[in-house]
Amino acid sequence: MTPKSHASGSEPPSPQTARTEPGNRVRPGKGPVREATPFTREEFDRSGARLLHGGRWGNADISLFRKDGASWVVKDFRHCPPGVRHTWGICMAGRELSALRRLSGIPGFPQDAFRLDRYAIAYRFVPGNEIGQGDPDLLTPGFFESLESLVERMHERDIAHLDIRTGGNVLVTEEASPLILDFQSHVRLGGLPGFLRRILVAVDLAGVYKHWSIRAPGSMGEEREEHLRRMNTWRRYWILKGYLGIKPGPARSTDAGDAKGKD
């Protein structure tokens, strides 16, 4: 990035190399703080990016965008009605970005996340299949042990996902490793009372064990099976479905392909 010229005529300070992490805030010269991002909203809009999944009234459109040989997922709330876009959309974009930045550097979570604008975020695309569509030969006890370990590392960063039970939020990558997506419903564990923190951690682990029990039955061990039975008993008392207790309707249709991991 070329530093801005200085009108005073004095010798400008030596230029400093900006960090290249996507979304890193840099200040060229004495100008305003700007986001150094891999691409801009204008580039995205002009590109004809491939729509993977059309969001409902309160959900983001998910698109696949390519630039310079790199592939990115873009989650964009700009299509939402104005009252949703300017409130819920802005909030949810920022909320997910905060979780992804907290999990940065851990393989198994979307990487290099940045804010495209108020309504959209982007992160690196990873090819894969939703766990429900994954190759059964890859869904071994070892895979689920890796998923369990990944969730534990997430908790160490003070993030509870709370929607791992949803199959679309867990991918099986081409390397046969797990990838966890969609952090809009996450909760920060830091500062919570111990009993509440334990409940949220248990909810996430039960999501792992649900998939494990279906796709590699008989391999969890008694302790995990008991955890799943106990949490399933409690789930029957949970009456809220979807966001804010509103059961979601059908997504806007698209034949563009899988919204999560398939190119």
| Amino acid letter, 193 | P
Residue pair 176/123 in contact (Cβ under 8 Å)? The answer is: no
Residue pair 168/259 in contact (Cβ under 8 Å)? The answer is: yes
Give pLDDT, residue 18.
40
- Name the residue with higher pLDDT: 100 or 253: 100
Residue 31 to residue 129: CA distance in whole angstroms: 44
C-beta atoms surrounding 153 within 10 Å: 15
Q: Report the top-level CATH class of 41-124.
A: alpha beta
Q: Helix, strand, or coil here: 137?
A: helix
Q: Do domains 41-124 and 128-245 have the same CATH topology?
A: no
Of 220, 198, 214, nearest in space to 148 by CA: 220
Q: What is the mean pLDDT of the chain?
A: 84
Residue 145 to residue 128: CA distance in whole angstroms: 18
CATH architecture of 128-245: Orthogonal Bundle (1.10)
Q: What are the strands, taking DSSP E only, across 77-169?
A: 114-117, 120-124, 128-130, 159-160
Residue 95 to residue 77: CA distance in whole angstroms: 13
Residues 247, 125, 63: CA angle, nearest 5 degrees:
55
6 pLDDT more than 70: no
241 pLDDT more than 60: no
Residue pair 41/116 in contact (Cβ under 8 Å)? The answer is: yes
Supply 186's token pair: 């996450």
Residue pair 167/211 in contact (Cβ under 8 Å)? The answer is: yes
pLDDT in tens, 126-181: 999 999 999 999 999 999 999 999 999 999 999 999 999 999 999 999 999 999 99
Share of the chain above pLDDT 90, in %: 73
In the chain, what are the domain boundaries?
A: 41-124, 128-245
Residue pair 66/73 in contact (Cβ under 8 Å)? The answer is: no
Residue pair 23/114 in contact (Cβ under 8 Å)? The answer is: yes
Return the H-helix or E-strand segment holding 51. Answer: strand 50-53
- Per DSSP bridges, beta strands 159-160 and 187-188 are antiparallel
Q: Is 197 exposed, middle or buried (0-12, 13-18, 19+ CB in 10 A)?
A: middle
Give pLDDT, residue 235.
81
Give pLDDT, residue 33.
53
Residue 144 to residue 133: CA distance in whole angstroms: 15
C-alpha dihedral, 236 to 162 to 231 to 134, nearest 10° = 100
pLDDT in tens, 16-71: 434 444 554 444 455 445 568 999 999 999 998 999 999 888 899 999 999 999 99
Residue pair 62/73 in contact (Cβ under 8 Å)? The answer is: yes
